[in-house]
Structure 1
Amino acid sequence: MEGGSDNSIPANLPEKKLRRFDSLDVESSTVSGGGTHGHKTATTTASWGVILHLAFQSLGIVYGDIGTSPLYVYSSTFPLGIIKHKDDILGVLSLIFYTLTLIPLLKYVFFVLQANDNGEGGTFALYSLLCRYAKIGLIPTQQAEDQEVSNFQLQLPSNRLKMASSLKSKLENSRSAKMFLLFATMLGTSMVMGDGVLTPSISVLSAVGGIKNATSSMTQDRIVWISAVILVLLFTVQRFGTHKVGYSFAPIICIWFTLNCGIGVYNFFKFDPSVIKAINPKYIFDYFKRNKKDAWISLGGVVMCVTGTEALFADVGHFSVTSIRLSMCCIAYPALVSAYFGQASFLRKHTDQVANTFYSSIPGPLYWPMFIVAVLASIVASQAMISGTFSIIQQSLSYGCFPRVKVVHTSSKHEGQVYIPEVNYFLMFACLGVTLGFRDTTGIGNAYGIAVVFVMVLTSSFLVLIMILIWKTHLPIIIFYVLIIGLFELLYLSSVLYKFNQGGYLPLAFAGFLMSIMYTWNDVHRRKYYYELEHKISPQKLKDDIDSLTKTLNRVPGLGLFYSKLVHGIPPIFKHYLSNIPTLQRVLIFVSFKSLPISKVLMEERFLFRRVEPDELNVFRCVVRYGYRDIIHEQEESFEKVLVERLKVFIEVESWKKQQKEEERKKRVEEEIEVVDRAWKDGIVHLIGQDEIVASKGSGLAKRVLINYVYDAIRRNLRQNEEVFDIPRQRMLKVGMTCEL
C-alpha cells in the first residue's frame, strides 16, 4: 500500500537472504575446543566432445608415472638379476596383474574417484568431506550460514547404520581424534610431495640408463648428469601450466602406450603365450611357497607397477572424473597389462636378462625409436605427481596447513589447473639432490615404494571413514574392501618398510621435514585465531569506544578495508589502531577471508555482510567465503568492485527487515548507497594487521622454539599478506601489534 508499511519481499530478493543469524557475533565462551557431495557440475553436464578432449589431455598429465613403470618393475623385483625357477615369472606376473586390477582399476577408478569433492581429489579433498559432515576442524570458524552454500550440502542416504552416528559422535567429541585426522592428512600431503620428488628421479634415470645397452662408452656419471639436465628443463616448463604441458605430453604417452602394447603382444605370441595362465592366482601361492621370505621382500619391486596411481585422484581436479575413468579403462590399463605379459613371455625364454628386461625385450629395429620415446615418456612421468603436488598444496593452504605461497591459475577454461612457483623450485632442487645423491635407481626405488604405499594406505583409511560416515555403505561391502584391498596394501607396506635402511628412510625423512613445517604453521595459525577470538571487540564495545573518542575521532573521505582472519567479532588489533590513529574512513568494512571445506563457492554466495550498530557509523563486517580451489583476491580491482556491489545489495536486503514506510525505506537506502559510492570514488585504503607473534612469558622451551624461532623464520622467508592479496602498496597501511600466545 502506497505510503504504508510494506514488508513483503520483492521477487528479486530471495527469502533466505533475509534470514538473520548471529554467527558473526559468537562469543569465545561458546566455542569449545580451544584448541553424493557429487561431481563437478561441468563433469556431469559436459558433452562427450569435452570429455574426450579432457581424456586425451589427461594422458600427458596423469599416466606418465604409472605408464613408465614397465621400465623397472621386473628388474626391481629380481634385484640380483637371478630367477631361481621359471614359474617365479608366472608368480610375479600374477602379482602384477592383480595389483594393477585391484588398486588402480578397482580401488581408484571405481571407489576413490567416487569420493571426489565436487570434482576435486586428493588427501585434502577427502579430509574436507569429513570436515563438512562432522565437526572435526580445529579452528572454530563454522557458521550457520555456511549450510546454505550450494556445494556445501551432501546428498546422503537415510541413516541405515547406527555405526555412522556413533563414529561421528566420537570424532566430534575427541580432540585427539581430530588431531590424528589432521596429522594423517598432513602425512598424506607430505608423501605425495615425496612422490613428486622421487618420480622424476627414478623415471628419467631408468630411461636414460637404456643407452648403456647400445654403447659401452656411456658411463653412469654421464647418465646421472644427462638426467639432471633433463630434470631442470622439466621443472622449467611447469610455469606454462597444465593445459599447455598436457597437450605437449599427451601425444608422447599415446605413442608410448601404443608401442608398449604392440611390443607386448608381439613378445607374448613369439616367446611363450602360456604366460596367460598367470591370471590364475594359484601361481602367487606357489611363488610364496617356493621363495618364502624372498617372495615377501620382492613385493617392494612388484608394487612399483602402481607408482603414480595416486595421481588418478590427486589430478582429477585438473580434468574430470569421467575423463579419468575413460582414459584409464580404455587406454592405460590394457596397454600396461599387455606390456607386462609380453615382458614375462620374453623372460620365460631369457631368464638371464631380467636385470634389463625392458630394453632387452625390444625387437632390434625398434630399439632406438623406443629409447627416444622412453626418455620422453619418463619426462612426462614426472608430470603426474608434480601436477598432483600443486593441487594438494593449494588445498592445504585453505586449511592453514601450509605457509603462504603464490597460486597461479594457468587455464581460463579449467579451474583446477594451477602452478605454484615456490613449490616447483623446491621440488626441482630436492629432485636434483636425490638424483645426484643416489646416482642409480636401486636406492631410489626402495624409497619410492615406501612413499607410494603410505599414500595408498592413508587414502584407503579416509575412504573407509567416508563409507561409514557419509555413504552409509552396507557393512559387508566395507568388510570386503578392508579384507581385500586394505590387507593387500598393508602386505605391500610391510615389505617396503623392510628396505628402510636401504634408501627407504628418504621419503619418511622428507615427510618429517615437510610435516614439521606444516604442523608449525598450522599450530601457530590456530593459536593466533584463538587469541583473537578471546580478545575480540564486541559490537557494543566498539560503539562505546567510538563514543568515547567522539571529540577526537576524525572521519575522512574514502572506503577502508580492514583485513582479519577472525570471522566472529571485530579483531583486537582495531582497538590498537584507534588508540594510536583516531581516524576512520567514511565507510569501514572489516573483511575476513574464510575457507569452507568445499572446492568452490559461487560468487553470489561468497560475501556475508553484517552491520555494526549504530547505522550512522557506516561500519560493516564482511566474511568472504572461498573454497579450496578458489583464488583469494587474485585481481584486486575486480574484488573491490564486487565487494562494493555486494555491500549495496546487502543494504537493500537489510532495509526490508525494518518496520519502515516504503518511501522512508527507499530514501534511506538511496542515501546509504550514495555514501558507499562516494566513499569508493574517494579511494580505498587497505588496512592490514602486521602481528608480531611471540611466546607468552613463562612458556616452555618447546613452545618458545616453535613460535619465536621456527615459525618466525618460516614467516619471514615467505610471502606476506599484501603479496598474497595483490594489494598495491600505495594504498596500503600496516598496523602492528604484538600477540603473546
Structure 2
Amino acid sequence: MAFYPLTGTAVVIVMLATTLLMILIMILVWRCHWILVLIFTGLSLVVECTYLSAVLCKVNQGGWVPLVIAAAFLVIMSVWHYGTVKRYEFEMHSKVSMAWILGLGPSLGLVRVPGIGLVYTELASGVPHIFSHFITNLPAIHSVVVFVCVKYLPVYTVPEDERFLVKRIGPKNFHMFRCVARYGYKDLHKKDDDFEKKIFDNLFMFVRLESMMEGCSDSDEHSLYGQQTQRSRDTLLKYNADTYASSVELTISSVDSIVPAKSPPLANNTVMSSGQTSSQTEVDELEFMNSCRDAGVVHILGNTVIMARRDSNICKKIVVDYVYAFLRKICRENSVIFNVPHESLLNVGQIFYV
C-alpha cells in the first residue's frame, strides 16, 4: 500500500528537520563543544540516512507527496525570511543619525503636544526611519517619546527584573527615551497584559536612578575640595579606581593643606544644595511625565511595505509583491502581539523598493 512509504517519508523528513534544529540549538543556545556536536550529528545522520535510503526506493508508490509538501513549506519559509531580512536591512541603513535629531532642537522642529508616544521599532540602537517619516509629514509630536524594541534572546528565560533596559536619547529637555524589552524563547510576551504599565514603571525608575547618580557625582566632586575627615577620604577611594588610589590621596593631602578651617560647612552646604537641586529636577521631570501620561498614550507602529523595483525580473516580482505580501496579510499584526488597544493605535505606513 502507498500509505506506508507516505508515512515513512514524512517521519524521515521530521527526523532530519529535528536533527538540524537540534544542531542549531547546541551551537547557538547551549554552546556545546564542536566535538560533541559532530558526534551527535554523525550518529543521527547514520540512522536517518539509512532509513531515508530505504524509503526513497518506494517514492513512486506515494512517497513523493511528503517531499512536495516539504518543498512547498521550504519555499514559504525562504520567501518569509527573504522579505523579513530586507525589511530589517532597510531600517538599519536608513535609521536617523543623532546629529540630525540634535540639530532639530528640544522641540524637534515641531509642536510638542501633551501626551506620550510609544514608537515601536525593531532597532535596539539608533532612531528608526519611520520616526523621521512621521515627523516630516505631521506638524506635531508628543511631549515624551519612547522608542520600544522587543527582542527575543537565545536563552531559556529572562528574569523579570532584568527584562527592560531603559536609556535616554539626547539631552533631558528632549524627553526622548529608548526601552528594550528582552524575552527568552520560553517567555510568552502575549501574557504581558500590563506591558504598557511595566514600560512606565521602568521608565520612572530610570529617571530616579539617573537623578541619584547625578547627585552622587556632584557630592564626590565637592568633597574632593571641601572634606577633611578620614571618612571623606574613604568615600573618595571607594568611588575611584584602584589604579588611581595613590594620586587621589596626594590630591586630598595637598588640598587639605590650603583649605581654610571654615570651608567644610561651606562645602557641605554646597553638596546639600546640589542634592536638593538634583532631587527637585527629578520631581519636576516625574511630574511632567505623569501629566503627559494622564494626557494620553499613543502607540505608534510602523507598517513598512516592501515592493519589487520596476526593473526586477518576473520571479522577484511574484515573490515580493504577491507571495510575501500574502504572508504578511495572513500573519498576526504587531498590535495584537504587543497587546495595543485599538483606540490608542496609530499605524504609520511606508513603502520601499528592493
Task: Specify which of 288, 298, 308 is matched with residue 685 of structure 1.
Answer: 298
Match of 1:663 in 2: 276
Q: CA deviation at 1:582?
A: 2.2
The change in CA–CA distance for 1:546 and 1:522 in structure 2 (over 3 A counts) is: farther
The change in CA–CA distance for 1:667 and 1:588 in structure 2 (over 3 A counts) is: same
Task: Specify which of 295, 299, 309 is matched with residue 696 of structure 1.
Answer: 309
The answer to whether 1:623 aligns with 2:180 is yes
Pairs within 5 Å for 1:496-515: 496-515=55-74
Match of 1:570 in 2: 127
Q: CA deviation at 1:458?
A: 4.3
Structure 2 runs not aligned, ≥5 long: 219-273
Task: Specify which of 584, 591, 596 is matched with residue 148 of structure 2.
Answer: 591
Aligned positions, number: 295
Task: Specify which of 187, 200, 203 is matched with residue 644 of structure 1.
Answer: 200
Assess if the C-alpha contact under 8 Å between 1:539 and 1:569 holds in 2.
yes
In 2, the alpha carbon distance for the partners of 1:473 and 1:531 equals 35
The change in CA–CA distance for 1:621 and 1:548 in structure 2 (over 3 A counts) is: closer
The answer to whether 1:607 aligns with 2:164 is yes
Task: Specify which of 75, 99, 103 is matched with residue 516 of structure 1.
Answer: 75
Assess if the C-alpha contact under 8 Å between 2:204 and 2:286 holds in 1.
yes
Pairs within 5 Å for 1:360-379: none
In 2, the alpha carbon distance for the partners of 1:498 and 1:682 equals 70
2:31 is paired with a residue of what secondary structure? Answer: helix
The change in CA–CA distance for 1:534 and 1:514 in structure 2 (over 3 A counts) is: same
2:290 is paired with a residue of what secondary structure? Answer: helix
Instruction: For 1:708, give the aligned amino acid.
Output: D
Q: Once the two structures are superposed, what CA deviation does each residue of 1:368-390 show, in whole Å capped at 9, x if it has no partner? A: xxxxxxxxxxxxxxxxxxxxxxx
The change in CA–CA distance for 1:656 and 1:462 in structure 2 (over 3 A counts) is: same
Assess if the C-alpha contact under 8 Å between 2:299 and 2:346 holds in 1.
yes
The change in CA–CA distance for 1:672 and 1:566 in structure 2 (over 3 A counts) is: same
Instruction: For 2:78, give the aligned amino acid.
Output: Y
Match of 1:59 in 2: none
In 2, the alpha carbon distance for the partners of 1:689 and 1:473 equals 41
Q: CA deviation at 1:464?
A: 6.1
In 2, the alpha carbon distance for the partners of 1:473 and 1:691 equals 40
In 1, the alpha carbon distance for the partners of 2:72 and 2:120 equals 31
Q: CA deviation at 1:614?
A: 1.7
Q: CA deviation at 1:473?
A: 7.2
Give me the TM-score of the superposition, normalised by structure 1.
0.37
The change in CA–CA distance for 1:667 and 1:462 in structure 2 (over 3 A counts) is: same
Match of 2:222 in 1: none
Q: CA deviation at 1:595?
A: 1.4
Pairs within 5 Å for 1:102-181: none
The change in CA–CA distance for 1:519 and 1:486 in structure 2 (over 3 A counts) is: closer
In 2, the alpha carbon distance for the partners of 1:528 and 1:646 equals 29
Task: Specify which of 687, 710, 730 is matched with residue 323 of structure 2.
Answer: 710
The change in CA–CA distance for 1:707 and 1:463 in structure 2 (over 3 A counts) is: closer
Q: Which has the higher contact order (CA 8 A, sep 6+)?
A: 1
Q: CA deviation at 1:707?
A: 1.2
Task: Specify which of 93, 99, 105 is matched with residue 540 of structure 1.
Answer: 99
Assess if the C-alpha contact under 8 Å between 1:634 and 1:725 holds in 2.
no
Match of 1:725 in 2: 338
Aligned-residue sequence identity (percent) comes to 34
Structure 1 runs not aligned, ≥5 long: 1-441
Q: CA deviation at 1:616?
A: 0.5
In 2, the alpha carbon distance for the partners of 1:502 and 1:689 equals 50
Instruction: For 2:80, give the aligned amino acid.
Output: W
Match of 1:472 in 2: 33
Assess if the C-alpha contact under 8 Å between 2:106 and 2:173 holds in 1.
no
The change in CA–CA distance for 1:641 and 1:736 in structure 2 (over 3 A counts) is: same
Q: Which structure shows the bigger proportion of residues in strand conformation?
A: 2
The change in CA–CA distance for 1:691 and 1:470 in structure 2 (over 3 A counts) is: closer
Q: CA deviation at 1:467?
A: 8.0
